[in-house]
């Protein structure tokens, strides 16, 4: 069941010759799963386990268990229930003070496309835990292409409305009433020591796991969001040789509670 929920993985494997503008940025290199046979194994596994519930994204999220950070994040507030799980693929954004090569890059938000993996979270947690590093390494076709399986698996967008406000918009043309919300960081926990540091294992580190709370006064359908199983996203330690603004590729799971 469920591979439709990560159709972008299958779509990428099937669309390797896609034009450059339809791909995420990537570096050259290899990964343990990146051979044609390994990729085919993942896709075939998903096809064998497809079901009507998976296609429609209907599953029992009460069975889903969030992964626990090395230093555990606080639990969801009493009375909340898990509503959606998405895999985010995009960039962490940074700025640099060009007058000081030893300056530390400053976080300037993030931009990511969200893909629905709710049923995988409920039924195949071991598979879900592998998706962030896989997604980080894969070139993903443009999510605006309505003929692509990627488009049908898209949950929405994640971006920042200011330097401290994370916004999740799950209201799309396919599902105009899934909800949205503005959030601020409440808690952070360092990613596991063995987390993927960047594309093809080459990078400057992994962004932390987070708990986000809904901003006071905002109109939110969701109340809490957890960023878990992160891969990549950390900038170099200093701004030496970097432009005034730059992006670092990342992926992560987002667990949305309401």
**pLDDT score at 9:** 53
**pLDDT score at 196:** 98
Strand partners, 185: 212
Cα separation, 89 vs 196, in Å, equals 14
Average pLDDT on 199-218 reads: 95
Q: Which residue has the higher pLDDT, 205 or 49?
A: 205
Which of 49-58, 71-80, 94-103, 245-254 is predicted least confidently?
A: 49-58
CA 239 to chain centre: 26
**Phi, psi (deg, nearest 5) at residue 101:** -70, -20
Please state whether the predicted TM-score (pTM) of the whole model is above 0.75. yes
Q: Which residue has the higher pLDDT, 39 or 79?
A: 79
Return the closest-CA partner of residue 200 out of 36, 33, 23.
33
- Residue written as token pair 């050259």: 28
**pLDDT score at 138:** 85
pLDDT band for position 8 (cuts 50, 70, 90): low
User: For residues 231 and 92, is the Cβ–Cβ distance under 8 A?
Assistant: no
Average pLDDT on 201-225 reads: 95
**Quick one: how many helices (H) and strands (E) in the chain?**
6, 8
The torsion angle over the Cα atoms of residues 141, 144, 146 and 149, rounded to 10 degrees, is 40
Is pLDDT above 60 for 17? no
pLDDT band for position 11 (cuts 50, 70, 90): very low
**pLDDT score at 2:** 38
Residues 6+ apart with CB under 8 A from 73: 187, 189, 209, 210, 211, 226
DSSP string, 61-102: GGG------SSPPPPPPTT--EEEEEEEEEEEEEE--TT-TT
Angle CA(65)–CA(150)–CA(234) in degrees, nearest 5? 60
Is pLDDT above 80 for 15? no
**pLDDT score at 248:** 97
Percent of the chain with pLDDT over 70: 76
User: Model confidence over 242-251: pLDDT tens digits?
Assistant: 999 999 999 9
**pLDDT score at 82:** 97
Strand partners, 245: 95
**pLDDT score at 141:** 56
**pLDDT score at 39:** 43
User: Model confidence over 129-169: pLDDT tens digits?
Assistant: 999 999 999 876 566 777 777 777 899 999 999 999 999 99
Residue 197 DSSP symbol? -
pLDDT band for position 51 (cuts 50, 70, 90): very low
Maximum CA extent, the chain: 57
Burial of 137 (0-12, 13-18, 19+ CB in 10 A): buried
Is pLDDT above 50 for 187? yes
Percent of the chain with pLDDT over 90: 67
**pLDDT score at 129:** 95
Q: What is the mean pLDDT of the chain?
A: 83
Angle of helix 125-137 relative to helix 7-14, nearest 10 degrees, comes to: 40
**Phi, psi (deg, nearest 5) at residue 160:** -115, 135
**Phi, psi (deg, nearest 5) at residue 143:** -75, -5
CA 117 to chain centre: 10
Phi-psi region of 232 (alpha: psi -120 to 50; beta: other; left: phi over 0): left
């Amino acid at each position: 069941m469920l591979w439709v929920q990560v159709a972008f993985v299958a779509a990428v494997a099937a669309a390797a010759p896609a034009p450059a503008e339809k791909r995420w940025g990537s570096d050259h290199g290899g990964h343990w799963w990146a051979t044609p046979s390994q990729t085919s194994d993942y896709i075939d596994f998903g096809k064998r386990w497809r079901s009507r519930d998976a296609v429609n994204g209907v599953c029992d999220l009460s069975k889903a268990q969030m992964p626990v950070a090395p230093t555990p994040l606080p639990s969801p507030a009493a009375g909340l229930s898990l509503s959606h799980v998405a895999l985010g693929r995009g960039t962490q954004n940074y700025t640099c003070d060009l007058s000081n090569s030893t300056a530390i890059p400053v976080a300037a938000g993030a931009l990511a496309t969200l893909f629905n993996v709710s049923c995988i979270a409920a039924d195949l947690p071991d598979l879900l835990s592998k998706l962030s590093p896989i997604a980080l390494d894969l070139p993903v076709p443009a999510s605006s292409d309505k003929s692509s399986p990627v488009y049908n698996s898209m949950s929405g967008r994640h971006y920042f409305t200011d330097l401290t406000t994370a916004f999740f918009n799950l209201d799309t043309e396919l599902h105009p009433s899934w909800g949205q919300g503005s959030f601020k960081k409440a808690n952070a926990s360092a990613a596991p020591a063995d987390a993927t540091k960047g594309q093809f294992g080459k990078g400057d580190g992994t962004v932390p796991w987070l708990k986000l709370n809904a901003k006071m006064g905002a109109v939110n359908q969701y109340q809490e969001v957890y960023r878990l199983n992160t891969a990549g996203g950390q900038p170099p330690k200093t701004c030496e040789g970097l432009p005034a603004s730059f992006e670092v590729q990342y992926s992560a799971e987002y667990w949305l509670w309401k």
